[in-house]
Amino acid sequence: MITFPQHLLDGYRTFTSQRLPTEQSRYRDLSVRGQSPEVMVIGCCDSRVSPEVIFDAGPGELFVMRNIANLVPTYQPDSAAHGVSAALEYAVSVLKVKHIVILGHAQCGGIRAFIDKIEPLSPGDFIGKWMAMFIKPGEVVEQRAQETMLDFTVRIEKAAVFRSLENLMTFPFVRTRVERGELQLHGAYFGVAEGTLFVLDKATKEFKSARQVAAE
């Protein structure tokens, strides 16, 4: 006999008894007028990195797309199905979001599999093909001299954020709104163990502590 996970039912019971009563009016309002979030977050599927939890967001505040290693593919208007591209198109063209945040994180399994070339990463599987988007043809990603494996991994995790931001601009509907000043693109990096958040400084191309950014 297959049973629905009990801890999910317990969680829903807590939701209906504690959180729902304080947000019932908001849910009813959202059901009538629809959603109108100003921010889209493209994050990783990793269960430890929930955008709604990290940003303490309520219902209707964030439009979230999660995938392995928080990657955005390049614009590919072909006959294939593109989940990330579809979500991006909806957020930008329909919801008219004002911000898109690429949220990378520490200890990313997809990035580590890519670095170590370990199973289930292989040329024939879904993860391998997905992670292949991270590398440009002819590009070589190697550990630098005097660079520890931890430093190398963090560098590649952050590089995935840069690559996704770069790929966002290949979408005509994104580029147009960015150039008009109607849409801003942001990068962020979450440290799982400490719960620290770093925000990309576009001028210096470095990640700064969110606390530091908030104080500036």
Q: What is the mean pLDDT of residues 172-187?
A: 98
Higher pLDDT, 205 or 124: 205
Enumerate the domain spans of the chain: 1-34, 35-215
Report the percent of the chain where pLDDT is more than 90: 77
pLDDT in tens, 57-108: 999 999 999 999 999 999 999 998 899 999 999 999 999 999 999 999 999 9
The CATH superfamily assigned to 35-215 is Carbonic anhydrase (3.40.1050.10)
Mean pLDDT of 44-60: 96
pLDDT, tens only, 115-156: 887 665 565 678 888 888 888 777 878 889 889 999 999 999
pLDDT of residue 131: 86
What is the model's pLDDT at position 122? Answer: 60
* Confidence grade of residue 199 (pLDDT, cut at 50, 70, 90): very high
Share of the chain above pLDDT 70, in %: 97
- How far is residue 200's CA from residue 62's CA, in Å, rounded to a whole number? 19
Question: HEC profile for the chain?
Answer: CCCCCHHHHHHHHHHHHHHHHHHHHHHHHHHHHCCCCCEEEEEECCCCCCHHHHCCCCCCCEEEEEEHHHCCCCCCCCCCCCHHHHHHHHHHHHCCCCEEEEEEECCCHHHHHHHHCCCCCCCCCHHHHHHHHHCCCCCCCCCCCCCCHHHHHHHHHHHHHHHHHHHHCCCHHHHHHHHCCCCEEEEEEEECCCCEEEEEECCCCEEEEHHHHHHC
Q: Is the pLDDT of residue 113 over 60?
A: yes
The band of 24, judged by pLDDT with boundaries at 50, 70 and 90, is very high
Assess contact for 47 and 109: CB atoms under 8 A: no
> Quick one: tokens of 60?
């209707």
Q: Is 16 or 121 the better-scoring residue by pLDDT?
A: 16
